[in-house]
Structure 1
């Protein structure tokens, strides 16, 4: 930590003073140590300008309060300086992101980047991933913590000659254990998580527990399907694998520091 930088951001007109009314509160000094160099960079001048807007001030204060709470039990020895390539874009987002599901991801990532023990988890690409997530997708990722894969089925109508037509694809049980605002968009959500490199749809492997597929069939099998002679309604099995990149993202962004 550069003492001059920390002194500047903690001064009467400094950013920490604008965000926190009491610099003696637990966690504020840790915030200063972690973000001092980032807050002192010229390319963060956008933040004080935003603070002139009352709404922006309230949003940033709320998000920074959450960040401070995660750091308050850390010692100065465990605090690391946040890399600018991680800290600058996050701080800019925290001036206007109001959705709790999304702001939590930014705050958790910033907290991980603020300690020596966890700052290697804070990949710079993660901020761009969060930028591309909807609140429902953030909920899904939080629910996937500790999971390696999620089973799915493709519902089909098969013919006697081995051909088939697809009724619905990538049906999972996610809506049963994640409260989604728009459950009808689940396929779009899963597709987006695939495009971001977090999930990988595999139809060449599947869970060894057939009961999970039987339950999906029982719960989500399309009704009212008209079958011709020799046709059967069935399903093909698969899994959404959580990629190594996805696992690192979930650990870094979907869990609070030391949770």
Structure 2
């Protein structure tokens, strides 16, 4: 790879040891060289040479090196005729993220997106806005997307059934929520903050990945029954508090609905989460 432009960007900061570039962007790695050539030529715009110097000084260069190695491994699965240069508007912010992103779930999203941008067949779906989308995700949300992609591939299903509890005022017919939607995912996944599942689903909806269908059921009565059994104790506890209030005249209701992966979400998962999903875009 031609590293002249990158080295010149350092200017008066001093000489970057040749082995840094030789180790990270080996000429022998022809695929990575071809895909990232333009991105690295413009790397001074994100101060990459300066950041590499700082990482080297702080002995933290291994984070970037590890992420680049994973990208190179991904490229091995791309045929030479399908390889293309990554667009700078996609590659530059991702390369920047890879200098400090240590969590494997999140770094994999960036690396997979960069890989998709390196392939002719998927480059058009590797939208630059996906970089910001990944930045807006937590580690737990990235794990949820991995789980959802596997459910789609194994069960051909892109929905997440949910239930929630409400109270209907018998006099006014007004509705008072007793709980947020419950999916049971916090029991299936090893999340850092399982108590934040409601917020995670809301954020995935805000990002355009999921769409909430309230009071609509999918054909999974058994799952809804299991959810009712799973959360019944929480419902009863909340209901006891309400019943203890004077003048209570409410009817408890268990509502059902589901979250569904959007077409936008499918494209994002296909290019950033699980490449096996590319059959659906």
Mark yes or no: TM-score above 0.5: yes
Q: Across the two proteins, how many residue pairs are aligned to each other?
A: 250
Q: Distance in 1 between matches of 2:277 and 2:37?
A: 22
Deviation digits for residues 32-52 of structure 1 (CA, Å, limit 9, x no counterpart): 011111111154451121111
| TM-fit CA distance, 1:15 | 7.1
| TM-fit CA distance, 1:90 | 0.2
The answer on 1:17 being equivalent to 2:18 is no
The answer on 1:247 being equivalent to 2:266 is yes
Deviation digits for residues 184-206 of structure 1 (CA, Å, limit 9, x no counterpart): 01111111111111112121422
- Report the CA distance shift for 1:252/1:15 in structure 2 as closer, same or farther (over 3 A): farther
Q: Which residue of 2 aligns with 1:233?
A: 252
TM-score by length of 2: 0.80
What SS does structure 2 have at the residue aligned with 1:156? strand
Assess if the C-alpha contact under 8 Å between 1:67 and 1:111 holds in 2: yes
Assess if the C-alpha contact under 8 Å between 1:30 and 1:75 holds in 2: no
Which protein is richer in helix relative to its size? 2
- Report the CA distance shift for 1:247/1:33 in structure 2 as closer, same or farther (over 3 A): same
Q: Distance in 1 between matches of 2:182 and 2:21?
A: 48
Q: Distance in 2 between matches of 1:206 and 1:159?
A: 24
What SS does structure 2 have at the residue aligned with 1:171? coil
| TM-fit CA distance, 1:241 | 1.8
| TM-fit CA distance, 1:109 | 0.4
Q: Distance in 2 between matches of 1:250 and 1:65?
A: 22
Unpaired runs of at least 5, structure 2: 8-16
Q: Distance in 2 between matches of 1:232 and 1:252?
A: 46
Q: Distance in 2 between matches of 1:151 and 1:174?
A: 10
Q: Distance in 1 between matches of 2:77 and 2:147?
A: 26
Q: Distance in 2 between matches of 1:230 and 1:134?
A: 41
TM-score by length of 1: 0.86
| TM-fit CA distance, 1:95 | 0.3
- Alignment of structure 1 residues 103-118 onto 2, 5 Å: 103-118=107-122
Q: Distance in 2 between matches of 1:184 and 1:46?
A: 39
Unpaired runs of at least 5, structure 1: 1-5
Q: Which residue of 2 aligns with 1:38?
A: 39
| TM-fit CA distance, 1:56 | 4.1
Q: Distance in 1 between matches of 2:111 and 2:228?
A: 39
Q: Distance in 2 between matches of 1:42 and 1:150?
A: 41
Assess if the C-alpha contact under 8 Å between 1:15 and 1:39 holds in 2: no
The answer on 1:29 being equivalent to 2:24 is no
User: 2:144 is matched with which residue: 140, 143, 155?
Assistant: 140
Q: Distance in 1 between matches of 2:147 and 2:73?
A: 23
